[in-house]
Amino acid sequence: SNYGLDLRKVAPRCSYKMTWLQIVVEGPKGGGFPNAMISIQDSKQMGKLCTDRNGVAKAAVKGCHLSMIVWGKDLQSTIRQVNLENNKSGKQTIYIKVNSKCNFLLNFDMDSSSGPLGGTFDTYNTVQYQYVAKSGGHQVTGNGIAAAGNGNAICINWEPLTGGKTGSLKVQAVHPTSAEISILHITKQNVGAAVNIPPYIEDSYKFLICFNSYPADDPDFTTNIDSLKAYDDDEDLDLSSSVEEDGNCAWFKDLDDLTDRENTLLAIGWNEDTGETLEGNAYIMDCNGKFATVELPKENTYEYDQLWPFACLCAGAKDISGVKVLKNQDFVDDDSLNDNSKCDSVCP
């Protein structure tokens, strides 16, 4: 009935014959990378190879599934899984791109109330992240899933630009149980940075305001919001009914308190007197997920009870198009925020 056809599954060639591999390792700046080490595991054994001066290594392997780890001097280790089931010829070339050794740690910190029911749950303590670092005259990108809290970090490569400049680093991270996104955007490079993950927010919001702030020499230590203040001319507006705060974030539930307002200056205070230079950024996100971000002042020491004027809600602002961030603003005392002329210079 099968007209003489053998419909039994034919075993792939790699299951009973060896395959000859040519492994080409490309360096961070292009071209073959010499003296790269390769650990390779086939169905029978684990072996070790070294690339020649052209960045090439050759090996004969058994089985259809291989695992390889490539590493070397000043290189970030790279893992590659290879499936040979579709190989018919017995020969295959594999290209592996390697990157420079990582030099910058990203620490993900999650607030204790980040659980979906208000509490910490280990099963939810992961974040999805992506980053773009403009460095060394080119862009370095990456993405993945990382654990948050308990000092967990990922390591990326962020090389200095020509002339000692660092370029910029943008990181976006999202908590899997909510739609709130954390944005880190900095230009000053030390050994690492902290990325605060927003808490789980049940109710809808108009504007979400969050901070990634940490002492310059201790990116593991993060600071929290102590107060969010708004100024309309010389009036310190009461935000008690329209704003909620949680850890490193605050959000406007509505804008009722700011109805019929003029341009409104926003300022933030922390709950720590660090006595050190703070680094990091603030960002404002509207309910549609669009955001604006601004860095903390780079060479100023924050002291308790000071405020940082960082943005303006322009008259009638309902989304991010009506928000203007203020760059290069120093930490100031409360009584110096006696007018909103800063907003007049940036709002239409």
Q: What is the pTM of this model?
A: 0.71
**% of the chain beyond a pLDDT of 70:** 79
Alpha carbon distances (Å) from 146 to 105, 143, 150:
12, 9, 12
Q: Is 173 exposed, middle or buried (0-12, 13-18, 19+ CB in 10 A)?
A: buried
> What tokens does 132 get?
């773009």
> What tokens does 171 get?
């990181």
Pairwise pLDDT comparison (150 vs 315), residue with the higher score: 315
SS3 258: helix
CA–CA separation, 48 vs 38, rounded Å? 6
pLDDT of residue 123: 47
Question: With 80 as the cut, is the pLDDT of residue 221 above it?
Answer: no
**Choice among 135-139, 215-219, 280-284 with the minimum mean pLDDT:** 135-139
- Of 250, 249, 224, 248, the C-alpha closest to 239 is 250
CA–CA separation, 118 vs 132, rounded Å? 32
Question: With 80 as the cut, is the pLDDT of residue 194 above it?
Answer: yes
Amino acid at 96: I
- Written as one string, the DSSP assignment of 163-179 is GG---EEEEEEE-TTSS
Residue 120's pLDDT band (cuts 50, 70, 90): very low
The residues, any chain, with a CB within 8 Å of residue 95's CB and separated by 6 or more, are 24, 26
pLDDT of residue 323: 92
Pairwise pLDDT comparison (61 vs 157), residue with the higher score: 61
**Choice among 3-7, 210-214, 316-320, 339-343 with the minimum mean pLDDT:** 3-7
Pairwise pLDDT comparison (30 vs 302), residue with the higher score: 30
> What tokens does 343 get?
């907003």
SS3 14: helix
SS3 29: coil
CA–CA separation, 103 vs 116, rounded Å? 34
| Stretch 38-66: mean pLDDT | 93
pLDDT tens, position by position, 49-58: 999 999 999 9
Mean residue pLDDT of the chain comes to 80
pLDDT of residue 197: 79
Pairwise pLDDT comparison (26 vs 238), residue with the higher score: 26
Question: With 60 as the cut, is the pLDDT of residue 161 above it?
Answer: no
Residue 6's pLDDT band (cuts 50, 70, 90): low
| Beta strand spans in 62-205 (E) | 65-71, 75-76, 78-83, 91-97, 99-100, 104-110, 126-135, 138-147, 153-156, 168-174, 181-186, 192-197
The DSSP letter of residue 331 is: P
The residues, any chain, with a CB within 8 Å of residue 342's CB and separated by 6 or more, are 265, 309, 312, 326, 329
Contact call for residues 41 and 67 (beta carbons, < 8 A): yes
Contacts 24+ apart (CB under 8 A), 330-336: 330/297, 330/300, 331/297, 331/300, 331/301, 331/302, 331/303, 331/306, 331/307, 332/306, 332/307, 332/308, 333/305, 333/306, 333/307, 334/229, 334/305, 334/306, 334/307
Residue 116's pLDDT band (cuts 50, 70, 90): very low
CA–CA separation, 295 vs 280, rounded Å? 6
Question: Which strands make up the sheet holding 249-252, listed edge to edge?
Answer: 243-246, 249-252, 207-215, 278-286, 291-295
Contact call for residues 312 and 326 (beta carbons, < 8 A): yes
Question: With 90 as the cut, is the pLDDT of residue 92 above it?
Answer: yes
**% of the chain beyond a pLDDT of 90:** 24
Residue 280's pLDDT band (cuts 50, 70, 90): confident
| Stretch 261-268: mean pLDDT | 84
256: phi then psi, degrees, rounded to nearest 5: -60, -40
